[in-house]
Amino acid sequence: MTSSTVDTQHVRVTTVVVADDLLTVGLSDGRTISVPLSWYPRLCHGSSDERAEWRLIGGGRGIHWSRLDEDISVENLIFGKPSAESQASLKRWLGNRASGQNNAVNPSGGSGGS
């Protein structure tokens, strides 16, 4: 049996495009990965402005949307892994969002629950 490994340690994000129903990420090794936006419910619920406000994290090994409290790693994109956020967590986040509470940073200064 042959096993292969994928080197994700040296791959970095170079571009990010968030469309109405698709997240497209360009990678430093020349690949472009597109995944359904439905894989990331917080991005789905975000406005165009919120989706456009992203930054690279981990030296380009991930993408962070601070206003949506969402992080996506290159590794998860390469391996086709959607958000692992529980329905209970998403429901809390949506409730806080509807009530106007910003839960991007909790009172202790850490990240909110994704």
Tokens at residue 92, please?
């809390």
5 — pLDDT class (breaks 50, 70, 90): low
More reliable by pLDDT, 4 or 7: 7
3-class secondary structure for 53-110? Answer: CCEEEHHHCEEEEHHHCEEEEHHHHHCCCCCCCCHHHHHHHHHHHHCCCCCCECCCCC
Q: How high is the pLDDT of residue 103?
A: 54
Whether pLDDT at 109 is above 60: no
pLDDT in tens, 43-101: 999 999 999 999 999 999 999 999 999 999 999 999 999 999 999 999 999 999 999 87
Q: Which domains does the chain have, with CATH numbers?
A: 13-98 (3.30.2020.40)
pLDDT in tens, 83-93: 999 999 999 99
Give the single-character DSSP code of 40. Answer: S
Q: How high is the pLDDT of residue 40?
A: 98
More reliable by pLDDT, 105 or 19: 19
What's the predicted TM-score (pTM) here?
0.81
Q: Which residues contact 97 (CB under 8 A, 6 or more apart)?
A: 45, 103
